[in-house]
Amino acid sequence: MNQPVLDVRGVSRRFPGVLALDDVSLTVAPGEVHALVGENGAGKSTLIKILTGVYRPDAGEVHYRGEPVAFGRPLDAQAAGISTIYQEVNLVPLMSVARNLFLGREPRTRLGLIDVARMNREAAEQLARYGIEVDVRLPLRSLGLGAQQMVALARAVAVDARVVIMDEPTSSLEPREVDTLFRVVRELSGRGIAIVYVSHRLDELYQLCDRVTVLRDGRRVHTGELAQLDRLSLISLMLGRDAAEVRRDGLTGFSAHDAGDVEPILRVRDLSRAHQLHGISFDVRPGEVTGLGGLLGSGRSETAKAVVGALGADGEVTMAGRRLTRRSPAAAIRAGMAMLPEDRKAEGIVPGLSVRENIVLAAMPTLSRFGVVSRARQDRIVDTFMKRLRIKAASPEQKVSELSGGNQQKVLLARWLCLHPRLLLLDEPTRGIDVGAKAEVQALIDELAADGLAVVLISSDLEELVEGADRIVVLRAGAVVGELAGDDVTEDNIMTALAQEPAHD
């Protein structure tokens, strides 16, 4: 291998309470397309942020073009030639394509004015090289997302990039746009530009990348040629499970038998949403925990959000025999569904309010008469749930922000439970909670299901999923690739389902 253009040597980075990167190394040669993979919390984004100057490493060094470098801010990294293409296009949508491409470095006439004609001509030429034929005078936002992504890429390369970091560039692209993007990536690599490619879509990695580095829990667990690593091995490296074991046991065939003869309370049929969900169908029965499994980006959270109407999607959702025609979170709540979102800080808890206020928030309408909220009834309910869920707070009046993550989660749970839901959707209920509280929340989920509640559990933690769920629906790339029930619910079976070659048509 020739002299690497980017050489990360033993980099560590610690955040309060967690070692995000632990002695991680990464070398990328000119012209190489290097895949960087790992599940949530593996340290990918921390590593990217160190490369682009957002964070500084606590230990270790980054060498760029043979010299140790320490970028103070993203601009410095960019000026040195390390460009980043983010998932969301970082350009100005209202400005024209050409002006976006040349912003800050517009060609100028002798008078110092922008030479618009030349700018438009050169922009069209540059984009044509990547197969983008558009009217460059149109505002950027009139282009498809793929074309916008390409403009971002063209801009990155035009500012003389030696390394382009692409963070899930295809997550919002059409298949056709993905093809164009890949063509451009290959051309760039042909010109000697190194590319660090982050994606959860295994198919893409195998199409595009030369080598791969796998991170897990902040450590590098593997670096090597991608072609020498089959899908199953790659997944088991990412998830940290034994590949040989998975292969030996294999799949005993997807069980078609119905564990419960209970009538499903929730029927989801053919749930679809452009780019994200493709015909997802499954049932959820009362008294059962149904797990949604899959890698990050497989559409787990999107499925749950679509079911409760927080995300628009086509398809049928039937709750307790009644088909929900106009789906909205309010309608879902009325139908007896409750969902705990993944990001409880952003989407759930109101940190400034007390435990009591947070709990009764959703139940307000049922607790009030003529708009007056009965305090006595509030106190009774709050007291019941604090005991039942074992919420550890000094008093109901303590601010929720002062509680631990586990107790915050229980407060959220209490909020929904006091609406007496019949179906509970939990998206990563134990993320960011310490081990002890985790077990408690898990036990609670079990109890609730035993009480006859139907539970949908989303978790990236395979162990949690396997132990918690009675039945698992495995998703990949927005489609159901398997359903496991009873004895078939094992980590190995999930991984095998995930590693299947995609069915090409």
Residues that bind another protein (CB under 8 A): 74-75, 78-79, 90-95, 99, 103-104, 106, 108, 112-114, 116, 135, 138-139, 141-144, 155, 174, 176, 274, 312, 314
Residue number, 18 or 138, with CB nearest to another protein: 138
Residue number, 293 or 299, with CB nearest to another protein: 299
Residue number, 93 or 240, with CB nearest to another protein: 93
Helices marked H in 294-434: 300-307, 329-334, 344-347, 355-360, 364-367, 375-388, 405-417
Q: Which backbone phi and psi does 334 adopt, to 5 degrees? A: -60, -35
Taking the complex as a whole, how short is the minimal distance between the CB of residue 166 and another protein, in angstroms?
15
Q: How many CB atoms lie within 10 A of CB 423?
A: 23
Collapsing DSSP states into helix, strand and coil, what is residue 99? helix
Taking the complex as a whole, how short is the minimal distance between the CB of residue 105 and another protein, in angstroms?
8
Q: Which of 318, 308, 303, 311 is nearest to 474 (CA)?
A: 303
Non-local (6+) Cβ contacts of 463 within 8 A are: 491
Whether the CB-CB separation of 317 and 271 falls below 8 Å is answered with: yes
Residue number, 73 or 191, with CB nearest to another protein: 73
Q: The tokens of 309 are what?
A: 């109407």
Whether the CB-CB separation of 283 and 265 falls below 8 Å is answered with: no
Residue number, 138 or 364, with CB nearest to another protein: 138
Residue number, 142 or 374, with CB nearest to another protein: 142
Distance from C-alpha of 356 to C-alpha of 383, rounded to nearest angstrom = 9
User: Cα 94 vs. chain centroid, distance in angstroms?
Assistant: 28
Taking the complex as a whole, how short is the minimal distance between the CB of residue 78 and another protein, in angstroms?
6
Taking the complex as a whole, how short is the minimal distance between the CB of residue 92 and another protein, in angstroms?
4
Residue number, 9 or 141, with CB nearest to another protein: 141
Taking the complex as a whole, how short is the minimal distance between the CB of residue 191 and another protein, in angstroms?
22
Collapsing DSSP states into helix, strand and coil, what is residue 166? strand
In DSSP terms, 68 is beta-bridged to: 63
Taking the complex as a whole, how short is the minimal distance between the CB of residue 174 and another protein, in angstroms?
7
Distance from C-alpha of 108 to C-alpha of 95, rounded to nearest angstrom = 18
Taking the complex as a whole, how short is the minimal distance between the CB of residue 329 and another protein, in angstroms?
15
